[in-house]
Structure 1
Amino acid sequence: MTAALIPPLCAEGLIQAEVNGCLGLITLNRAQALNALSLPMIRDMTALLQAWAAQPAVQAVVVLGAGREGKPAAFCAGGDIRFFHQAALAGDSALGDFFTEEYALNHLIHHYPKPYIALMDGVVMGGGMGISQGAKLRVLTEHSKLAMPETNIGLFPDVGGGWFLSQCPGHVGEWLALTGQPIGAGDAIELALGDVFVQQSAMKAIIEAFRHGEQSSAEHVVATVMEHADLAPPADHLELRSRIDQHFRHVSVTAIMASLAAADDEWSRHTHATLLKRSPLMMAVTLEQLRRARGMSLAEDLRMERDLVHHCFHLRPGAASETVEGIRALAVDKDHSPRWNPARIEDVSAELVQAFFKSPWAPDQHPLKALA
């Protein structure tokens, strides 16, 4: 019976699927790469979720990341950026397939008809946020480290990041998006980017119960988590909210950086120094993305992000792409000295930014036209 509930998978064991009672479990099993998502993994997750949505025997789904013995936990560190780099330089059409199918998976999770629970222990970045933010129950530990660090590689916070970051109170979303600042469990819960805190020491018991305990109903699955729920740690950045809003409310990245530069405190100096390392062009695109996303549905935002990511690799193809250059500096050559173009925020024109928001597809031809 259990085997019949699991469709054939293609990711060579990088996605593991189990069914225990009414519960379907998905384990991201690429621990040495911090469970970063590949295209086959995205396809396997999609196939599992679609199959289980149609199976009355499966009433709830849990997703978790495989651990590494003696090393810090990682739920999912994002997408496979080395693949992005190689595919972009080779002109591989699989790069477009990756983003189309990843964003469709993100949308599926947000609209999943059964309780979907994400055990967000350890690193949760980029694509990891994409497969967890739509969960009905987002479970955090003291080791959870959430971030959307895409501007560090000349990209923008995708996977629905425009939508869920723009929902954060005040202008915290702009701060998280432009800086890529990681936050812990306390901040995540305060900002509605997480729901429940459990001690990491309790995670083993929760996962054991999911795999081998009696799971007779969706309510029982949720109760398995909630019986271990604890008081969340304090929000580290809560006291900074007034300063974040003061600086990140401005209409442009140039104005945000000028505001930070004029402030005489250590946090503002540190934040200004961080932004100086990011791609000026992609910070400007990111700010525009978040401001537009505030008035959009998730589906509209994901279609916009699919347009944006197409332009990230095609407005300036190959090595001229900001994203290809950012990945080169961080993960390929590892010189941490990206050559951004333009190099200064003052040289980013409005025309260059607006070009990213022109869809390359007619509405009835858009790869995500089916999302509602």
Structure 2
Amino acid sequence: MTNEPVNKDIKAIDAKPEVLFERRGNMGLITLNRPKALNALSLAMVRELLATLRAWCDDPTVLAVAIRGTNKAGRPGTAESLFGGFCAGGDIRFFHQAALAGGAELAALDEFFTDEYTLDHLIHSYPKPFMAFMDGVVMGGGMGMGQGASVRIVTERTKMAMPETAIGLFPDVGGGYFLSRCPGHVGEYLALTGAVIGADEALAYGLADVKVAAARLPALWESLATRAFDSSAAVEQWIATELISESDRTACATGTIDAYFSLLRVKHIVDALEASTDRWALRTAAALRKRSPLMLHVTLEQIRRARTMTLADDLRMERTLVHHCFHLRPGERSETVEGIRALVVDKDYTPKWSPARIEGVTAAMSAAFFESPWLDGEHPLRNL
């Protein structure tokens, strides 16, 4: 943790701390500082974020919070290195290692998800203005934090996605909640395919609030840190005047997506896409054929259940789902372990999914993921 001002902390941006916390004026400022890993979240980072944000909740001198990520492409020691990459998600190499090791490491993995989902819930319900500078890569756990912010800032460099089905996982960290609230059936589309979208689509789909030129970010951050605010309401007024008033939401046409992703079953969706002569439909079908067939079924059910859930109930459901991702089929048998192995560890890009095809997944296989492993009153997120 550091209390040094931003212009001084630039010199230390490659130092050991994976999260930099600052107090400047009446702002609490957070910089994710793990650029070589695209600011992927570790258990230690999640716990530091939780502890600090809880402390700032109760600190009357902190009127608002802002979070950003560092950029491995930027030259160390420059303002540009402080933007350009928000957060690529959780540390999936740790997921793979812990799941195979079992014992204490697997227990730490369980703790990671409990703490991460608790952090996401805290950000969504934060009692003070919370600004997320969602520049560059914003995926997985980065979406979990960013979507909870009261002001979600994107740029022309934003690459936003929930790509979990590609590694045999599902869009967690509240993904069921915020994706299911996209217009039409865009949520099912983004969740199943893991499609990467830019700033304009994020605005249109309700996943961002304002688009700002990336070149403006350093000055905007500095303005927040140096401006004299006398209340959280004053910060909100400044945001409304300086940021939100400039935002231009593009029209959102979802007809093509809805025609396919409103269908009842995964097989119905894929069959309809493959029967089309449209190039987008055929590319989308090909992408789905590469995803974990089992987790496609789990994900579709997750999104549709979450549409009528509160955030807390959705996170509790997702905590059950992620438990089963590593415990229902332990070790190498886990779809998630196999997906990470193929795409990140061995990089052979040929995951051996089980079942291998969408047509091989039964309703019972998917339903097992939604059965709670905990007795009533024992769920790790029961207090949300």
TM-score (norm. length: structure 1): 0.93
Matched, 1:262 2:275: yes
Distance 1:228 1:170 in 2: 27
Residue of structure 1 equivalent to 2:45: 41
Displacement of 1:216 in angstroms is 4.5
Distance 1:26 1:220 in 2: 20
Distance 2:19 2:205 in 1: 30
Residue of structure 2 equivalent to 1:27: 31
Residue of structure 2 equivalent to 1:166: 180
Residue of structure 2 equivalent to 1:201: 215
In structure 2, the gaps of 5 or more residues are 4-14, 76-80
Range with greater deviation from structure 2 (225-234 or 167-176): 225-234
In structure 1, the gaps of 5 or more residues are 4-10
Residue of structure 2 equivalent to 1:183: 197
Displacement of 1:308 in angstroms is 0.3
Displacement of 1:15 in angstroms is 0.7
**Alignment partner for residue 95 of structure 1, among 109, 112, 126?**
109
Distance 1:231 1:54, change over 3 A: closer
Range with greater deviation from structure 2 (42-51 or 213-222): 213-222
Q: How does 1:288-307 map to 2 (within 5 A)?
A: 288-307=301-320
Q: Percent identity?
A: 57
Secondary structure at 2:86 match in 1: strand
Displacement of 1:224 in angstroms is 6.1
Residue of structure 1 equivalent to 2:85: 74
Distance 1:224 1:137, change over 3 A: closer
The answer to whether the 8 Å contact 1:202/1:228 transfers is no
The answer to whether the 8 Å contact 1:142/1:199 transfers is yes
Residue of structure 1 equivalent to 2:257: 244
Distance 2:378 2:316 in 1: 11
Distance 1:266 1:202 in 2: 37
Residue of structure 2 equivalent to 1:6: none
Residue of structure 2 equivalent to 1:59: 63
Q: How does 1:86-165 map to 2 (within 5 A)?
A: 86-91=97-102, 92=105, 93-165=107-179
Q: For this pair of structures, how many residues does the alignment match?
A: 361
Q: How does 1:284-363 map to 2 (within 5 A)?
A: 284-363=297-376
Displacement of 1:73 in angstroms is 1.5
Distance 1:261 1:224 in 2: 46
Distance 2:240 2:229 in 1: 12
In the TM superposition, what whole-angstrom CA distance separates every residue of 1:134-175 from its partner, at most 9, and x where no partner exists?
A: 111101111111110000100000000001101111110000
The answer to whether the 8 Å contact 2:130/2:151 transfers is yes
Distance 1:220 1:207 in 2: 16
Distance 1:289 1:137 in 2: 26
TM-score (norm. length: structure 2): 0.90
Residue of structure 1 equivalent to 2:7: none
Displacement of 1:208 in angstroms is 2.1
Displacement of 1:214 in angstroms is 3.9
Distance 1:339 1:320, change over 3 A: same
Distance 1:226 1:36 in 2: 33
